[in-house]
Structure 1
Amino acid sequence: MKLKSLLLTTFFAAGLTAAQAAEGELSIGTEGAYPPWSMADAAGNVTGFDADVGNLLCAKLELKCRFVVQAFDGLIPALKAKRFDVIISGMSITEDRRKEIDFSIGYAELANMFVAPKGSDLAGIEDFDSLIKALDGRKIGVQAGTTHAHYLEKNAPNADLKTYDTLDQMQIDLASGRVETAFSDVSALDDFLAKPEGKDFQLVDVKIASSSDPTLGEGIGVGIAKENTDLKTRVDKALCELVADGSIGKASETWFKTDISRPCQ
């Protein structure tokens, strides 16, 4: 019993949680329904940029990866309940989320845009002020619990927001005309436009940088429980190395056709 306690103490000193000490793995919470960030098949296999980042991180930490699929708005409660060790799910770092959990350094950043039917008055807008004014009274699709939802609540208070648990649900309503436009990051909207149901839509030519408003966060980070400070230190170091050696940039080019990695600050 004393030997077991000593071994566990050694594991914790190296920055591992109890679950990792027992299994030699890092359990990762991810949405699994937000292409190309995170996609889960019927067997629970996860692919996408988040999966690539997770696997790169596990390799650096010399741990086995185990992905746990969880609805996006349930990720933070599940992390706090210790269902998994970290969140890797395209999650933006925001002050509100920092009240609940800690974050790694920001390792990626992507612009945010609206999508609208071709030929609509929204589709032709080219400046930010005109766009925000035109959103008054519009039915806008947005995923629940995201920075995009918080951004619209703050900046388009007179819009009629329709929130969805998944991106697929939002896209179905967009294609059927139940919402007039949708707001998300460029990658998610590009995925919609590439589908047959997206052929009659286009991006509104106004890019909204995440750095333009605190509600959009400070880049994408790994979510970590507040008490797990040793793991945060190790994750930060590993992510900095993965950005510096181009590994995260290469993964992002695979999924987004551009390098969205963000240097350590």
Structure 2
Amino acid sequence: MIKPLFRNAVLCSAVALLGMTTAGASGTLKIGTEGGYPPWSMVDANGKVTGFDADVGNALCKELDAKCRFVVQAFDTLIPSLDANRFDLIISGMSVTPERSKRITFSIPYVVEDTTFILPKNSDLVGADSTDTLFKGLAGKTVGVQGGTTQGDFLRKNAPELKVKPYDTLDQMQMDLDAGRLDATFADVTSQAKFLKKVGDKNFALAHFIIKSTADPETLGYGIGVGINKNNADLKQKVDAALCTLIKNGTMKEASIKWFDVDTTNYDVCKS
């Protein structure tokens, strides 16, 4: 897992955006990402950003004939930093929600993601068949979420009887779960499955009931998109076109299977 200091540090110095007013212009795109949310975004021992978000970012830059420069910082600071023009794009597993869309523009939602709980393996709630059963069983118990995510917002809205504990990083949350300081965690399926794959299934299990984003799209979002400054409509147009190319030529599918073992590509968004 990535140490918190990697997540909060800006590993790359700021550079001016060169000529990216049209797609194909030669220059550098600064991409804000978290760096501490495997398998979406991680930073290795050499300071290199890896994961699904990095693969998408690099493929997008290649399609736009630009160089990528990743800027790593806390997830809940990404939107304010984009507003302040500290980078050009956010690629960090960020769900497209109405609330976030008040501040930034999003690209097309290029992948879709569902959410679930990790619970003690011996819990009767592992086999629960509804959110009502899960929420009643977890009433008064402490559930870990990552701060600034849609998962935390969803629980506060739909399950106020739970004690929601936010964490700066996914690895901090998972360490507390492993140490017995949490009764459950709530995050996207791909990250939860990656954690179980790493630690094994001796003590924990994924809840069988998967919460689809369609259960509450106003909170959970309409899929994962690239964040773009509202003042850069031209860049949004070029990013959308490039993402559709990556979807249609199989690049998105390849990256998804590489990091998630399943294809999470949103094919419907580029059908028109």
> TM-score, normalization: structure 1?
0.90
User: Partner amino acid for 1:61?
Assistant: L
2:151 aligned with 1:148: yes
Equivalent positions of 1:214-229 (< 5 A) are: 214-229=218-233
- The residue aligned with 2:142 is 139
2:127–2:209: 8 Å Cα contact kept in structure 1?
Answer: no
Q: Distance in 2 between the 1:189 and 1:59 partners?
A: 30
The count of aligned residue pairs is 251
User: Partner amino acid for 2:250?
Assistant: G
Q: What is the Cα deviation at residue 194 of structure 1?
A: 1.7
Task: Specify the SS of the correspondent of 1:64.
Answer: strand
Q: What is the Cα deviation at residue 12 of structure 1?
A: 6.3
Q: What is the Cα deviation at residue 80 of structure 1?
A: 0.9
2:234 aligned with 1:239: no
Task: Specify the SS of the correspondent of 1:66.
Answer: strand
User: Partner amino acid for 2:248?
Assistant: A
Q: What is the Cα deviation at residue 126 of structure 1?
A: 2.6
Give the fraction of aligned pairs with identical amino acids, expressed as a percent: 54
Q: What is the Cα deviation at residue 133 of structure 1?
A: 2.0
Q: Distance in 1 between the 2:199 and 2:78 partners?
A: 31
Q: Deviations over 1:216-264 (max 9, x none)?
A: 0000000000001110000001001111111101110101111101022
Q: What is the Cα deviation at residue 197 of structure 1?
A: 7.0
1:135–1:156: 8 Å Cα contact kept in structure 2?
Answer: no
Whichever of the two has the greater Rg, that structure is 1
- The residue aligned with 2:170 is 167
Q: Distance in 2 between the 1:13 and 1:44 partners?
A: 29
2:34 to 24, 31, 34: 31
Q: Distance in 2 between the 1:191 and 1:238 partners?
A: 28
2:190–2:260: 8 Å Cα contact kept in structure 1?
Answer: yes
User: Partner amino acid for 2:120?
Assistant: P
2:243 aligned with 1:230: no
1:178 to 173, 176, 181: 181
2:59 aligned with 1:51: no
1:126–1:204: 8 Å Cα contact kept in structure 2?
Answer: no
- The residue aligned with 1:208 is 211
User: Partner amino acid for 2:125?
Assistant: L
Q: What is the Cα deviation at residue 211 of structure 1?
A: 1.9
> TM-score, normalization: structure 2?
0.88
1:108 to 73, 95, 111: 111
How large is the RMSD of aligned CA atoms in angstroms?
1.8
